Each structure stands twice: as C-alpha cells, then as structure tokens.
Structure 1
Amino acid sequence: MSMLQVSGLTKSFGGFTAVDNVSFSVEEGQILGLLGPNGSGKSTTFNCIAGMLKPTAGSVKLAGEEIGGLSADATCRKGIGRTFQIPRPFRELTLLENAMLAAHFGSDGHLSHDEAEAIARDALTLAQLPTDANAVVGGLGAAGLKKLELARAIATRPKLLLADESLGGLDGGEMRQAADMLKRIRDERGITIVWVEHIMGVLLSVVDRVLVLDHGAVIFEGTPREAQQDEKVAEVYLGPPETRAA
C-alpha cells in the first residue's frame, strides 16, 4: 500500500516555481531518499507535504487520504512527523519535557500526562538519549541535537517520518550513526521514511529508493545503485563530463 502519494505537486512564489509538477509515491515501510543540490526544491517539497506551505497545485495523500493544504498541526495529527535541518529545541525545557510536548502536539488533545511521559521516554530511548527527568538540552552537541529532533518527531507517533538533512553538521562516524538510527526506526517501528539530503554517500547505503530533484523537477527515480550510475544525477552533483577531474 502507498503510504504517501504525491501527484503533480507544484509550488510557486510569485513568478518563481520552486517545485514543478513533482509526482512520486512511497510504499509502507520504505525509506525514500530525496536528493538534490541546494536550491533544487527538496525543502519546499517537504514543507508542502508537512503542511508548512500550501501547494499551488497538485495532490498529497497519506494512506489514501488527501492532506494537501492542511495546516502543520493538522498534518501532524494525521500521522506525519518531521525533523528540521536546524534543530531548535526548547532549551529551557528538559529532554523529557521537549519530547512530551511533541507527544501532546501529535495527539488529538486527549493525552494524559502519564501517557505523554511514557511516549516521550520511549522516543528518547529509541533515539539513544537519556530519559532522566533532569537531563538538559545544554549538554547536547550537534549529534545529540539531531537525535533530539528525531525523538521529538517520533513522539508525535507518525506513520510517516520526514527527516530533513539529518547528516548536516556531523562528522563521518556521527553520519553513520544517524543513518543507522533512521533504519532502526523503520525496522523496529515500521515507520515509513522520506529522507531529504544533499549528501549522497551514506544515504545511498540505507534507502530503498531514490528521487532526485533539480530546479524543482524530478530528474531521476530508481534504486540507489541506478542513481550512482545515472549520468543526469552525476551531472547535477559533479558537473558536465568535460569539467570533471580525470
């Protein structure tokens, strides 16, 4: 079953079209890598799916239900969780309180304090963060902040997770850990994932399928192996063949 079905998605800002007639689907339990250079339309596509932006045209369906144009909070309650490229946790709150707040945000308003705490502790555990009620945000480095972003998204109890550049600002080992964590979230919780990145290497070793955007349009869709062999993808990342180093 398709967990996410995007058809003819278009987003324009005045005379500029940032996303141009993009269509793709993600099957339940898959990890789709959404790739492209800076300015290719990845984040705008994400924001249209997540309810941060209203599409100019097209359809976004979650498990067969149209959600395109819903607000971000309504989209979250329908079952879409997301992380942000730049983590902005509530620094005056503890890790547990951050995750509990996310649990309430993703609920229908009938979540008790104890239920929210249980969901939050579970999400923090999955993200390999301390569940101690006194653990604070100030002690986290770049990798820890990325983990907290994932924990907060997981705490909304999504069917579909949108992971926005989870590797940004991390070193090689931290990138590998972040990629493994996304795979574990899929494997252990059955959460379907769309992962936006501009860093190809680590992502291609984890995802099931790849979608590549350039100038707001789809230029490739296929397997990671096919993406590595595709000349259009290589040109977007490396430039025309005549300009590449021998």
Structure 2
Amino acid sequence: MSGPMLLEVNEASKAYGGLLAVGGVCFAMREHEMVGLMGANGAGKTTLFNMVSGATKPTSGSILLRGERIDGRRPDEICRRGVGRTYQIVRPFGGMSVEENVIVGFRYGSRVDPLATPLHEAVEQLLHEVGLIDQRHRLANQLTLAARKRLEVARALATRPVLLMLDEVMAGLTPTESAAALAMLQALHQRRGIAMLIVEHNLRAMMQLCERVIALDHGRKIGEGTPSAIIENEAVIRAYLGAETA
C-alpha cells in the first residue's frame, strides 16, 4: 500500500468475558482514502468502530493515527486528534437549532483552534455542503430522518477530522434519500479530500463510494480488496450473502 498511513489497526481484539467480539483484525488506511467495512449483523463492525473512536478499549492490539497510538484514549482525546464519527441511531440536541448543533462541534470537538476561522463562515459553509442551509434555524427534533442524518455528518465534520467514520448514514432512508446522501458524501470527499471509513448495509452505495472494502465475519477479517474483488470473494459470499460457492 503506497502513500502515508493515516490509520493502522494492528491485531485489534475485543473480548467480553468469553465472547470474542473482534479477533485480531488488521488493516491500514492512507490519507484521503475511502474504505468500506462490511459484514452481517454481529460481525464486529460497530465494536471495531468503537475501538477506533475510543468508546471501547481494545482487549489487545494497537491502533495508530498518523503513527501515534490512540487505543485506550478517551473519545474526546481521539476526537481532538482528528477522528470524527457518526452513529447509526442519530441523537442531535433536539431542543437546539441545526446551526447550534453544528456550533457545538466546532466549539468543543475541533482538533484546531475554533477561533482560527470566523465561526459564522465555517458553519454556513458546512451547512451548504450537507444541504441544510435552508433549515439552519429549525430545531433538530423537527427534522426528517434524512435531514437528521445530514446533521449528524455535519456535526462530525465540524470537529475538523482527518478521518471521518460513517456508521450507516443511509439506514432507514428511501431510495431517493439514499441516492442524495450518496451524492453528498461523494461531493464532500471530492471537496475536502477527507478519509472516510464507512459501515453501510447498502452494498450498492458502498461499492460506489469505496476504493477498498474490508469484510468481517464473527469478529474476524475474511476479505479485503477492491469492491469488484470483494463481491467475488468466496468467503465473503458464504458469510455475508449466505450463498454456496461453486
């Protein structure tokens, strides 16, 4: 793999008593790369996300961001080092406006001085990019699910991450809303060049977004490669699609 390493996950494992949720997973990401993480429910995707973001401490192994170990650090420390993430179940501050939700990210989660750029300009630009500028003054609890998902992305981006981790941004959306979300993520990547690690059950969207896909099954990596290669991987077909190979 050429280019500077952004994220390195080395033999990362997480056990809960006798249950091994993630076992010895290894992978790396370059700066600006878009990588997908796929697997059936219970494959270990969310646990792996939580280990990278600091919500869960690995039982063993190491996780490095730009060469610095981040495993075991608090989530706020990892966020300020440049890891932003969304959650499958979105929980914005419902009594605050869309704009105020984004300001919280800039003020309290940013890895850079939040005063380095005029806040009004930074918030306005970000809301334009996620398609929420016309709803900036609406309360978050008045938004549709699709809009709340966009707000979740905006709040994560407000922390100025070098790695954006997206946990099922398209879950629960209609086909039209999913297509719009896909276009938004593609535009964000093109404009900002930010690296993205993506968990998504919408396989068509993942194949369009990602340069490389990592497949998990029962907490272990069973495949890694380009989208076209991974969908032809026999182990992935058996585990993820539940199909028999020839």
For the superposition of Structure 1 and Structure 2, which TM-score range results when normalised by the shorter chain? over 0.9
What SS does structure 1 have at the residue aligned with 2:133? Answer: coil
The answer to whether the Cα contact below 8 Å between 1:96 and 1:133 also exists between their aligned partners in 2 is yes
Q: How many residues align?
A: 242
TM-score by length of structure 1 reads 0.93
The Cα shift of 1:121 comes to 2.1
The aligned counterpart of 2:129 is 126
Which deviations, in whole Å up to 9, do the C-alpha atoms of 1:202-243 show, x marking residues without a partner? 21112100000000000000000001211211112321428x
- Residues 59 and 128 of structure 1: CA distance in aligned 2, closer, same or farther (over 3 Å): same
Distance in 1, matches of 2:231 and 2:112, equals 45
Please give the alpha-carbon distance, in whole angstroms, between the structure 2 residues aligned to 1:226 and 1:48: 27
2:191 to 188, 191, 198: 188
- Does 2:60 match 1:49? no
Among 173, 186, 206, which residue is 2:176 paired with?
173
Q: Aligned to 2:209, what secondary structure does the other structure show? A: coil
After TM superposition, the structure 1 = structure 2 runs for residues 125-144 of structure 1, keeping only pairs within 5 Å, are 125-130=128-133, 134-144=137-147
Return the match for 1:104 from 91, 104, 107.
107
Picking from 10, 13, 16, the partner of 2:16 is 13
Q: CA RMSD for the aligned pairs?
A: 1.8
1:77-131 per-residue CA deviation (whole Å, 9 max, x = no partner) reads: 0001000101100011000000000111223695349844433222211111026
Quote the Cα distance in structure 1 between the aligned partners of 2:237 and 2:121. 46
**Do structure 1's residue 202 and structure 2's residue 205 form an aligned pair?**
yes
Distance 2:194 2:90 in 1: 21
Query: Gapped runs of 5+ residues in structure 1?
Result: none
Does 2:83 align with 1:88?
no
Q: Does 1:225 align with 2:241?
A: no
- Whole-angstrom CA distance in 1 between matches of 2:121 and 2:56: 32
For the structure 1 residues 132 and 178, does the alpha-carbon distance in structure 2 shift closer, same or farther, using more than 3 Å as the test? Answer: closer
CA displacement at 1:177 relative to structure 2: 1.6
Query: Matched residues in 2 for 1:216 and 1:203: separation?
Result: 20
